Amino acid sequence: MSKELKRVLEFEKGIIEGDVVREISEVFPCLYKNFSQRKSYDEYYYTETSVVIDVEVIKELNSLGYTISIDSEYIKII
């Protein structure tokens, strides 16, 4: 049985702060291209994509202070 899950990553907010983008990009390096800057602010829009998660990723997100919700199709960062 696989310990990895593939889910679509979502964010609770539509506009994401730059600090969050940098932290999430360290956990999921492939996501950096899915963020586009909002005007000249340190704020970003996110284009949904699938990511692979496992227990270590969940622990890392929790250690960064994020609350996550996981269902059969999505992982949502709150």
Strands in the chain per DSSP E = 5-11, 15-17, 35-37, 43-46, 49-53, 68-70, 74-77
pLDDT above 90 coverage of the chain, percent: 90
pLDDT above 70 coverage of the chain, percent: 97
For residue 30, give its domain range: 5-77
Task: Kindly report, residue by residue over 39-53, the tens digit of the pLDDT.
Answer: 999 999 999 999 999
Burial class, 60, CB count within 10 angstroms (exposed 0-12 / middle 13-18 / buried 19+): middle
Count: domains in the chain: 1
Look at residue 2 and tell me whether its pLDDT is greater than 60.
no
Query: What is the pTM for the complete model shown?
Result: 0.85
DSSP 40: T
